[in-house]
Chain A
Amino acid sequence: MQPPTIPPGRRLLQFCLGLWLVQVAWLGWWFAPEAADLGRRLLSGQVGPVIQQQDPFVQWLASLAAVIPPEAAYLFADRYEAGKDIIARYHLYPRTFHRFNPEVPPSFLFSTIARTGATFLIIRDWEVPPAWDFLADGINPGFKAVPGLEPAWVFRLDPRQLVGGYYD
């Protein structure tokens, strides 16, 4: 008696099925770290808002929110690649956000302040170049450092007292 023949289409289907199941196993390995973290958090009950509250950056933003009034606008000096500016904007809303590229010359800072009416300047993580010394020395009366928000620099701005007086 002849064994039953399997149609070629079925054979191809079986091959694809086998290949896909191998891929599913690989997918399990791919998601394993996330699944493990999920399991840990479920067991410890540290989920939802607790995850945000544990994040040092979000904690820092909460202390920043206590300083900046909700109706104020602020300049956030950071490179967008870091992805921190979008988190700051999200958590600090309804405060009006303006991102500011720290690689521009100081004169651009003055024009941006004038254009946006920002009353706070936040410099998150930046090696300040010599041209920006007027911030560190506190010689410009338009910039008043806000203590207690280190390691970032936070300045309260008073646009009426801003003094430029140089060309770059």
Chain B
Amino acid sequence: MIETILGLPALLGGLASIVLAGYGLLLLLPGADDLTPAERLALGFGLGALALTVWMLALTRLQVPFSLATVAAPWLAPLALTLALPSRRRLWSRDCRGLCSWPRTLVQTARNSPVPALAGLFAALIALTFLFATLRAVLYPIWAWDAIATWGLKAKVFYLHRALYLGNIDAHNYYPNLVPLLMTYLYLWFGGVKDWLVQGLFPGWGACLLLLFASFLRRLGVSALGTWGACAFVLTSGATLIVHLYIAYADLALTFYTLALTGLLFLKLKNCAPRGSLGLAALMGAALAWSKYEGWPLVLIVFLAAFLTLLWLRPPGWRRHFAALVVVLGTIYLSTLPWRLFVRGLGVDVGSDHLLGFFPDQFLLAVYYVGLALIWPPYFSLFFPAVLLALGWQWRTVWRSPNLFLALFLGGSLAATILAYAVAPTAAAEFPLYVRGTVDRLLLHVVPALGLALAAPLAAWLPDSPSA
């Protein structure tokens, strides 16, 4: 217990340094002042995770061993630069003030909402869930299957070798390494492989995910009460998201970046995005592809949905938008090259076994299993029915509005999930177990992003009170 308590400052320091690394970079991007403090915090965390881990890949190429000085110190430069620029210094002080007055603002918002008791209930649910998940994460050693077999193992190996070393392990070596490298970075803060404390990364990431989701909903016109309700609903619909707040899997990272990319593009299509959102979308897309093997296909699905929406709706200036999206997609593709070249240099097999065949029996079974998973209470409970209801409620307008993007994203991601199962090289007897062990994770990746479909009905049915 004492070891855990003594390690908590290092954990908090490590998490804060991730946010600060990204925050410094974010403030240097054009349009940073158009983001809300909550968005700067959440996107700063995501950007920090990307920057630190890509830098660790570069350090490995340069044969410089990982240490706090070599990994974290370079990111002090952009931070110092932001403090030197008066316009960015103002954002600093505004965000620090906002952070300090955050609890008071929350209480005030709850009091001013049309139904304070309901706002209190939503807030209590969110707080209780995060309390449970945080304690569950940092008090138990690493335990879930993939956490031990892949992500946690790699983090330990990278820490012990002070490099992205894959020489004597065989743990899906072609998988991208954002999450294990970030865990390694926290081990540098701890000064050892404390594989219980390191799981504190995940509730922190979950909090940023929820903060970003809430910010996007507010931009879409949802009231404070509606936003709290939607956050509590997404968080506590089924057990999947809660469990991923305390296991060391890469799926929460993938979910965060999918939300960031999809949300920014959706806001862009709705003409309510912050300035510079396409640049940010490119960075979030790069992080998505760097999080997990499924990241790049998800990027393609998101962009396919955006392209089709633009082609169908043809809003004013759609060709310019289309060209800008092509550039963003190209940038994301280019960002995947360093890792691809790195693994090719090591002679690592890149998982082509998944593309060797199409199994019609598996395809039909996958349609059934994925359909069942959408309504299976322990997975996501009421979430997918609610999203379908929300899209159905807008059925007259969905074909003539940017909400089409979310409908296409839903269809595209479900089709891709089913197709992925149809080509999976699994023994027939093991197929049901394989689906049962993975389908909740695959669906989780798109959950908060699809939660944005709830915005329209919530904005219509729960309008903001004038004082909220």
Q: Pick the 5 closest A-B CB pairs, nearest first.
A: A45-B1, A47-B139, A86-B149, A96-B168, A48-B196
Rounded to whole Å, the gap between the CB of B383 and the closest CB of chain A is 10
Stretch of B18-26, B49-57, B234-242 on the interface side = B234-242
- Residues in chain A near residue B160, CB distance under 8 A: 93-94
- Residues in chain A near residue B338, CB distance under 8 A: none
- Residues in chain A near residue B461, CB distance under 8 A: 7, 9-10, 13
Choose among B140, B156, B377, B457 the residue that contacts A23 (Cβ–Cβ < 8 A): B377
Count of A-B contacts judged by CB separation below 8 Å = 99
Contact A83 B386 (CB under 8 A): no
- Residues in chain A near residue B457, CB distance under 8 A: 9, 13
Complex Cα–Cα for A50 and B196 (A): 11
A13-B461, A86-B149 are contacts. A24–B125 as well, Cβ < 8 Å? yes
- Residues in chain B near residue A47, CB distance under 8 A: 1, 4, 139-140, 196
Contact B139 A48 (CB under 8 A): yes
- Residues in chain B near residue A86, CB distance under 8 A: 145, 148-149, 153
Residue of A nearest to B165 (CB): A94
Contact A27 B236 (CB under 8 A): yes
CB of B369 within 8 Å of the partner chain: no
A90-B152, A93-B156 are contacts. A48–B141 as well, Cβ < 8 Å? yes
- Residues in chain B near residue A50, CB distance under 8 A: 1
- Residues in chain B near residue A131, CB distance under 8 A: none
Contact B196 A20 (CB under 8 A): no
Starting from the known contacts A49-B196, A90-B149, 5 additional A-B residue pairs (CB-CB under 8 Å) come to: A20-B237, A23-B381, A38-B136, A47-B4, A51-B141
Contact B3 A16 (CB under 8 A): no
Rounded to whole Å, the gap between the CB of B257 and the closest CB of chain A is 26
Rounded to whole Å, the gap between the CB of A130 and the closest CB of chain B is 27
Interface size for chain B: under 10, 10 to 19, 20 to 34, or 35 or more residues?
A: 35 or more
CB of B382 within 8 Å of the partner chain: yes
Complex Cα–Cα for A16 and B138 (A): 34
Rounded to whole Å, the gap between the CB of B184 and the closest CB of chain A is 13
Contact bitstring B231-274, A, C-beta under 8 A = 1, else 0: 00100111100100000000000000000000000000000000
Stretch of A28-36, A101-109, A150-158 on the interface side = A28-36
Contact bitstring A35-65, B, C-beta under 8 A = 1, else 0: 1001001100111111110000000000000
Complex Cα–Cα for A23 and B135 (A): 23
Complex Cα–Cα for A127 and B172 (A): 30
Contact B141 A38 (CB under 8 A): no
Contact B4 A48 (CB under 8 A): yes
CB of A79 within 8 Å of the partner chain: no
Contact A38 B242 (CB under 8 A): no
CB of A67 within 8 Å of the partner chain: no
CB of A87 within 8 Å of the partner chain: yes
Contact bitstring B380-411, A, C-beta under 8 A = 1, else 0: 01100010010001000000000000000000
- Residues in chain A near residue B196, CB distance under 8 A: 47-49, 51
A7-B461, A26-B377, A47-B1 are contacts. A20–B233 as well, Cβ < 8 Å? yes
Subset of 21 A-B contacts with CB under 8 Å? A7-B461, A9-B457, A10-B461, A20-B381, A23-B377, A26-B377, A30-B378, A34-B136, A38-B136, A41-B139, A47-B1, A47-B140, A48-B140, A48-B194, A48-B197, A49-B196, A50-B1, A87-B148, A90-B149, A90-B153, A94-B157
A49-B3, A49-B196 are contacts. A31–B239 as well, Cβ < 8 Å? yes
CB of A19 within 8 Å of the partner chain: yes
Rounded to whole Å, the gap between the CB of B247 and the closest CB of chain A is 12
Residue of A nearest to B242 (CB): A31
Residue of A nearest to B3 (CB): A48
Residue of B3, B149, B156, B160 ringed by the most chain A CB atoms within 10 A: B149
- Residues in chain A near residue B242, CB distance under 8 A: 27, 31
Residue of B nearest to A95 (CB): B168
Rounded to whole Å, the gap between the CB of A28 and the closest CB of chain B is 9
- Residues in chain B near residue A20, CB distance under 8 A: 233, 236-237, 381-382
Contact A38 B3 (CB under 8 A): no
- Residues in chain B near residue A124, CB distance under 8 A: none
Complex Cα–Cα for A89 and B157 (A): 11
CB of B102 within 8 Å of the partner chain: no
- Residues in chain B near residue A17, CB distance under 8 A: 229
Contact A90 B237 (CB under 8 A): no
Residue of A nearest to B239 (CB): A30
Residue of A nearest to B167 (CB): A96
A9-B461, A23-B382, A27-B236 are contacts. A52–B141 as well, Cβ < 8 Å? yes
Residue of B nearest to A80 (CB): B149
Complex Cα–Cα for A19 and B1 (A): 40
Complex Cα–Cα for A90 and B151 (A): 11
Contact A16 B386 (CB under 8 A): yes
Rounded to whole Å, the gap between the CB of A8 and the closest CB of chain B is 10
A48-B141, A51-B140, A90-B153 are contacts. A38–B132 as well, Cβ < 8 Å? yes
